[in-house]
Amino acid sequence: MTPDSSILIAGAGTFGLSTSYHLAKAGYKNITVLEKSPTIPSHLSAGNDLNKILRAEYEDAFYTELALQAMREWKDNGLFAPHYHETGYLLCTSAAAPEKSKRTLAKSLSSVSSHPAFQGGEGQGGHKIICPINTRDDIRAVAPALDGPMQGWTGYLNRFAGYAHAADALRAMHAACCALGGVTFRLGDGVTALVYSNGDDAQPKGVCIGARTASGAVHTADVVVLALGAALGTVLGGPHGVGRHVAARAWSVGHVQLSEDEASRLRRIPVTYARDLGFFFEPDARTRLLKVCPAGAGYTNFVSGEEGREEETAPVSVSVPPEDSGWIPARDEAMIRRLLRETLPALADRPIVDKKLCWCADTADTDYIIDFVPGKGRVVVVSGDSGHAFKMLPVVGNWVKDVLEKGRQDIPRWRWKEGQDAGGDVSWRVGESIDIKDVKETVRG
C-alpha cells in the first residue's frame, strides 16, 4: 500500500465510513466509496438509527478491551463526543427470564465488577460506576422515572455507558472524511459484483481487479473493501462466497411518539435492557421519539444462490435483506408492549410508529470478519457485526487499515472462516431465529 494506492470501498455504513475515515486520516489519497443509497446515512445501513447502545462490558474480555478503546473516543474525541449520551445502561433479566439469560448477565457483570476501567466514582455525580440491582427499590434509586412493576428484575446499572445518536454520528464521520480529503463518495449506484482479471492485464486470471455497480459502471482498484453489512451475500453469495457463515439477520425496531412533557419526564433514563423482553432508550431530544426494540433471536431471509451474484455451480442458500423492511412481525409488537407494560405502563397501548427491521451481518461465533477473501486476491471483507459493532464506529476502520497494510489478518478470530451456520446459540439472545417467509402476521406503520 502507498498513499496513491486506489482503494474501493463498497458500502458507506458504519464499517465503510470508519474505514474511509481511518485511511484518509493516515494519508491515503485515492479512496472511492460506492454506496447504493443516494444519501448518507444510507437507508440500508443498520447504523442509520435514532440511537445505538454504547457499553464496554462483554462476556468476552477480548471485546471488552476493544470496546473500552472505542468508549474513550466516544467520550474524549470531539468528533464523536457530541453524539454520545452517558445515561448509563441498566441491564437486567425479568422474573420470567430463562436461566440462559441470567447466566449470560452474571458473566457480563463479573467481567466488569473487578475491571479497573469500571472502578471508582467516575460515572455520573461521583456514584459507583457499576451498581448491582437486586430489588425493585434498587431500580427506583437509579431510574425513578421507570414506574412500571418490574417485579423480579435483577441485574446491574453501568454508569460508564449509554447510547450514541447513531445517524448523527454517521453524518459526522462522513463530514470528517470530506474534510480530510482523499475520499470520493459515489452515491446512488451500489456494488453488485466483483470484477476479476481474465489474465490479459497485469494480474493473474481470477484475481479481483475492481467492482461493478448497478448502472453497469466498472471501477478498477488496487484493493476492494467490502463493507456491505447485511447485504454482503448479494455480492459474495455464491458457492465460493459467504455461504451460511455470514447471514443477514434482522431485529425489530419501533418508536413511541412522546409529547414534550412526557419526553422531559423521561430525560436521562438509562438505556434499559431486559435480556428476555427487549430494550429502550432516552427519548430523542429533537423528535421526542422513544426507540424500543423487542428481544428475540432475529429473522433471516434465505434466498437461493441464484439470486446471489456469484453463481458458478450449484446454488447456495444465502440470507440477504429483502427490498422491503418497513414492517415488523406482530409478535414483536406484542413483545414491545409487554416490555412497556413492565417499565413505562402509560405508554404500553400507544401507537408504535416508524416500525422497521434492522438488518445485521451475523456470524456463527458472533466474531467480526476483517480479512482477505481466500482465492480472490485483493478483496477484504469487513463484516460480521453480529449486532454488536456500532459502538466500534470510532475505531473499527483502523483495524481494517492494519489488515490492508500488513496484507493479512493476524487476529485468528477475525479471519475468514467457513463451515458453521451463523446465529446458533448466541448467549445473549432468547428464542429461535426464523425466516421472514415463516412469519405469519406482520404490522406496518
Residues of this chain that interact with ligand FSA (CB under 6 A) are: 53, 55, 251, 293, 360, 386-388, 391, 428-429
In the complex, what is the shortest distance from the CB of residue 188 to ligand FSA, in angstroms, rounded to a whole number? 28
CB 317 within 8 A of CB 431: no
Give whichever of 239 and 322 is closer to ligand FSA, judged by the CB atom.
322
In the complex, what is the shortest distance from the CB of residue 200 to ligand FSA, in angstroms, rounded to a whole number? 45
Distance CA 6, CA 3 (A): 9
In the complex, what is the shortest distance from the CB of residue 390 to ligand FSA, in angstroms, rounded to a whole number? 7
Give whichever of 266 and 426 is closer to ligand FSA, judged by the CB atom.
426
Give whichever of 280 and 372 is closer to ligand FSA, judged by the CB atom.
280
In the complex, what is the shortest distance from the CB of residue 379 to ligand FSA, in angstroms, rounded to a whole number? 26
CB 146 within 8 A of CB 270: no
Residue of closest CB approach to ligand FSA: 387
Give whichever of 28 and 390 is closer to ligand FSA, judged by the CB atom.
390
All 3 cell numbers of residue 51? 440511537
Strands (E), 55-139: 84-85, 89-93, 130-133
Give whichever of 85 and 309 is closer to ligand FSA, judged by the CB atom.
85
Give whichever of 10 and 358 is closer to ligand FSA, judged by the CB atom.
358
Q: Is 332 left (phi over 0), alpha (psi -120 to 50) or beta?
A: alpha
CB 135 within 8 A of CB 313: no
CB 284 within 8 A of CB 255: no
In the complex, what is the shortest distance from the CB of residue 250 to ligand FSA, in angstroms, rounded to a whole number? 9
Which of 398, 397, 282, 278 has its CA nearest to residue 338?
278
Other Cβ atoms closer than 10 A to 99: 8
In the complex, what is the shortest distance from the CB of residue 426 to ligand FSA, in angstroms, rounded to a whole number? 7
* CB environment 262-295: b (16+ within 10 A), e (fewer): bbeebeebbbbbbbbbbbbbbbbeeebbbbbbbb
Give whichever of 219 and 245 is closer to ligand FSA, judged by the CB atom.
245
In the complex, what is the shortest distance from the CB of residue 220 to ligand FSA, in angstroms, rounded to a whole number? 36
Helices (H) and strands (E) in the chain, counts: 9, 26
